[in-house]
């Protein structure tokens, strides 16, 4: 028999690990939780101050476009962290809901559904963690390029050392290179931990919502398995009462699933809207740079930005698409049930549930942007269609057309 600790360690272990690192795990001790939050806030704020200082001290349009993606990335980090800080109780309810549903006594088939979606969440989590760490290490490798090139293609003098991202620390960057680099590396790891901790929460609660919807569809589909029109007509109401009770239980499961989806959206509704807006801004700025910059470390940096933000946006829309697909699968299972063998009361309940499924809840950004793959395609198409074209004319340097 599983208890809460076993379920958390087996199915929510990655959420707990990363959540504790950034002060986001609801059951974490208060001192550790607030300490981690303060450290993250101070480090990211200092990072943004250093980046803003570079814009102010060396203001130009090029410097502004160089700096904007990194500033927006720092803003995204704070947005992710404090969304779950401000919605800590909502997150606690959602995570406790997962544990509670695992502790509930269920038929074997429903447990298999929960396990299947839990495995799906772990796969999504692994892919997302791998993409985040890959993006972070791509940036952390940038300072290693000059020493490597000095060995592979040496010049008369050593190449100038470069930083992870452009900033201004009010000191000589070459003299204090390693302390500055240490701060940048620390900031990069904090960013990775915050992104992973926040989005693992989203992965697990969304997949659990999909599992609850699937369970409700399974109940509806099999509620009428024992019902038979002729048996109901000639052998009394015993079977009728039994199947009607199963339909009522199915409705309760569906109501619980839709309420859980509603709670997921309530925890992220403004967060999704702001996040998609920031991603679009980052896309716009990076395409401006990629359209005009020559091949080199800057080009590789903004290419990495484009790739990582594409993955980030795709991940968000896939989570929303999972909810939509689960609603559609539930509708299909309800429709495929042998509802015509049930009593008039049971049939009316099926009709009402099918009608409700037509207005199923979705994950949206402030009710303005629906998170699905269609939105991903539309955003991507809009950005690519409006990308800068003036840099397509070549000059003395090598440029690339996008």
Q: Using H for helix, E for strand and C for coil, what is the string for 304-338?
A: HHHHHHHHHHHHHHHHHHHHHHHHHHHHHHHHHCC
User: Is the CB of residue 288 less than 8 Å from the CB of residue 399?
Assistant: no
Q: What are the residues whose beta carbons fall under 8 Å from the beta carbon of 31, sequence distance 6 or more?
A: none
Q: Which DSSP letter does residue 176 get?
A: T
**Token reading at 340:** 């015509």
> Long-range contact list for 307-314, CB < 8 A, 24+ apart?
307/135, 308/131, 308/132, 308/135, 309/279, 309/282, 309/283, 310/380, 311/131, 311/135, 312/279, 313/276, 313/279, 313/376, 313/379, 313/380, 314/376
Tokens 């840099």 map to which residue?
391
Instruction: List per-residue pLDDT tens for the chain, 402 residues long.
Output: 577 888 888 888 899 999 999 999 988 899 999 999 999 999 999 999 999 999 998 888 888 888 888 888 889 999 999 999 999 999 999 999 999 999 988 889 999 999 999 999 999 999 999 989 988 888 888 788 778 877 888 877 777 778 888 888 888 888 888 889 899 999 999 999 999 999 999 999 999 999 999 999 888 888 776 665 444 544 455 556 677 788 888 889 889 999 999 999 999 888 998 988 888 888 878 877 777 766 666 677 777 777 888 888 889 899 999 999 999 998 888 888 777 777 777 778 888 888 888 787 888 888 888 888 888 888 777 766 655 554 444 344 433 333
Rg of the Cα atoms in the chain: 26
Three-state SS for 88?
Answer: helix
Please, what is the Cα angle at 358 between 353 and 362, to 5 degrees?
Answer: 110
Q: How far apart are the first and last CA of the chain?
A: 58
User: Is the CB of residue 36 less than 8 Å from the CB of residue 23?
Assistant: yes
The Cα–Cα gap between 88 and 396 comes to: 55
Q: Nearest Cα to 177, choosing from 167, 187, 188?
A: 167
Q: Nearest Cα to 364, choosing from 279, 283, 282, 267?
A: 267
What pLDDT does 238 receive? 56
What pLDDT does 234 receive? 41
**Token reading at 380:** 């991507």
What pLDDT does 60 receive? 83
Tokens 């903004």 map to which residue?
302
Number of neighbouring beta carbons within 10 Å of residue 400: 15
CA atoms within 13 A on the CB side of 320: 26
User: Is the CB of residue 302 less than 8 Å from the CB of residue 286?
Assistant: yes
């Amino acid at each position: 028999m599983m208890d809460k600790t076993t379920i958390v360690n087996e199915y929510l272990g990655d959420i707990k690990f990363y959540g504790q690192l950034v002060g986001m795990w609801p059951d974490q001790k208060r001192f550790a939780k607030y300490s981690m939050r303060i450290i993250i806030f101070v480090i990211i704020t200092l990072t943004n101050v250093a980046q803003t200082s570079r814009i102010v001290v060396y203001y130009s349009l090029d410097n502004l476009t160089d700096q904007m993606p990194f500033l927006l990335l720092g803003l995204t980090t704070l947005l992710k962290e404090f969304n779950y800080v401000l919605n800590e109780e909502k997150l606690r309810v959602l995570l406790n809901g997962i544990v509670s549903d695992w502790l509930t006594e269920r038929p074997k088939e429903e447990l298999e559904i929960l396990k299947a979606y839990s495995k799906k969440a772990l796969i999504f989590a692994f892919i997302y963690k791998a993409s985040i760490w890959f993006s972070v290490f791509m940036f952390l490798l940038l300072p290693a390029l000059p020493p490597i090139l000095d060995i592979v293609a040496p010049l008369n003098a050593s190449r100038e050392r470069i930083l992870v991202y452009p900033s201004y620390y009010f000191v000589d960057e070459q003299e204090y290179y390693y302390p500055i680099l240490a701060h940048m590396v620390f900031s990069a790891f904090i960013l990775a931990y915050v992104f992973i901790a926040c989005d693992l929460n989203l992965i697990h609660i969304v997949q659990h919502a999909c599992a609850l919807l699937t369970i409700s569809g399974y109940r509806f589909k099999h509620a009428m398995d024992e019902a038979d029109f002729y048996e109901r007509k000639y052998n009394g109401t015993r079977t009728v009462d039994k199947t009607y009770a199963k339909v009522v239980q199915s409705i309760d499961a569906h109501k619980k699933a839709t309420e859980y989806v509603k709670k997921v959206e309530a925890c992220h509704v403004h967060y999704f809207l702001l996040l998609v807006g920031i991603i679009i801004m980052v896309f716009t700025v990076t395409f401006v740079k990629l359209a005009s910059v020559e091949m080199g470390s800057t080009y590789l940096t903004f290419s990495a930005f484009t790739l990582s933000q594409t993955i980030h946006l795709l991940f968000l829309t896939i989570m929303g698409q999972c909810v939509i697909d689960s609603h559609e699968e539930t509708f299909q299972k309800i429709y495929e049930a042998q509802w015509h063998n049930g009593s008039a009361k049971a049939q009316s309940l099926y009709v009402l549930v099918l009608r409700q499924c037509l207005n199923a809840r979705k994950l949206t950004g402030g009710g303005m942007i629906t998170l699905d793959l269609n939105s991903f395609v539309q955003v991507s198409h809009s950005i690519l269609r409006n990308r800068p074209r003036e840099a397509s004319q070549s000059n003395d340097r090598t440029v690339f057309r996008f």
